[in-house]
Amino acid sequence: MRPSPGGSSVPESLASVRALRLGVAGPVGTGKSSLIATVCRALGEELRLGVITNDIYTDEDARFLRSAGVLAPERIRAVETGACPHTAIRDDITTNLIAAEDLERDFAPLDVVLIESGGDNLTATFSPALVDAQIFVLDVAGGGDVARKGGPGIGRADLLVVNKTDLAPYVGVDVALMVSDAETARDGRAVLALSKHDPSSISTLRAWVLGMLAAHRSGSHVPQDPGPMAPHFHADEEHPEGGFVHAHDDPHAHSHDHARTNAGAHAHE
Ligand SMILES: Nc1nc2c(ncn2[C@@H]2O[C@H](COP(=O)(O)OP(=O)(O)O)[C@@H](O)[C@H]2O)c(=O)[nH]1
Ligand SMILES: [Mg+2]
């Protein structure tokens, strides 16, 4: 029970009736759309789901998900973000909020709305004003050391997914080591090694989503802001350990000419 402004209290079961809004962020090509398709396949029968995609100029991700046939096509909506995909999930979330509210109203009641970020670099995270929880997706093909390089999504998303583990032997990545590096970087927050070809990893993902939904409904989950860009190193500048620590006060005040990269370090002019 939680107190209402008038001093009486409302049952927990009525305190949180809105759908769980679950963000899926991560660099281009790491498997965000595929992960959403996997969640829809795993939970589409028992939960009422909706999906919002963010693409820069197209609705390609929405079309991919509709053609995958994992959910009724009208439950998958596209937001076109224009130039900076991270702006639409963090700085000016209006279009995404309206899309989520429209979807929740048109198909009421929904249990979970999955929101895919437009592909961006390692620094993009969702505002806690838009999503209740967020998953950050890396893939093994980005290299085993990506998890150690950090960034707000890697460090503090509610779940870090190390995706495409089936490809690890081909790219020479030790998945167990990548997961343990990630766990260290995340101070023990959840890390999941996932492959769309590995049913047991999909069961773990399914259980995580159900657990988060239960926590959202009970009011025990508090949406977290993974925060602005973590301090990071520029290899060509002075620091006792090589490179120097460089922090942005305002992550969005700097130029957006970053090289889009899976490897984490972005180029400043
Ligand atoms: N081998 C393998 N390929 C995957 C897996 N998940 C996604 N992919 C492939 O990775 C590519 C990019 O996936 P997509 O979901 O579009 O990535 P997004 O840009 O992050 O949304 C596609 O060719 C997918 O089929 C996986 O678990 N294993
Ligand atoms: Mg996608």
Q: What is the pLDDT of residues 138-170, one digit of tens each?
A: 999 988 888 887 789 999 999 999 999 999 999
Domain limits for position 117: 17-218
Atom of ligand 1 nearest to the CA of 167: 1
Atom of ligand 1 nearest to the CA of 194: 27
Q: Distance between CA atoms of 85 and 82, rounded to whole angstroms? A: 7
Average pLDDT, the chain: 83
111 C-alpha to ligand 1 centroid (Å): 25
**Does residue 226 sit within a domain?**
no
232 domain residue, yes or no: no
| 225 domain-assigned | no
pLDDT at position 57: 82
Is there a domain that residue 125 lies in?
Answer: yes
Question: Does residue 127 line the site of ligand 1, with CB under 6 A?
Answer: no
pTM for this one? 0.82
Tokens at residue 220, please? Answer: 């025990």
Q: What is the CATH number of the domain that holds 139?
A: 3.40.50.300
With respect to residue 204, please indicate whether it lies within any of the assigned structural domains. yes
Inter-residue contact 191 to 177 (CB < 8 Å):
no
Domain count of the chain? Answer: 1
The yes-or-no verdict on residue 109 having pLDDT over 60 is: yes
User: What tens digit of pLDDT does each residue of 69-79 get?
Assistant: 999 999 999 99
Residues 29-57: tens digit of each pLDDT: 999 999 999 999 999 999 999 999 998 88
| pLDDT for res 146 | 87
Determine which residue's CA is closest to atom 13 belonging to ligand 1: 31
Residue 33 Cβ < 6 Å to ligand 1? yes
Pick left, alpha or beta for residue 74 (phi over 0 → left; psi -120 to 50 → alpha; otherwise beta): alpha
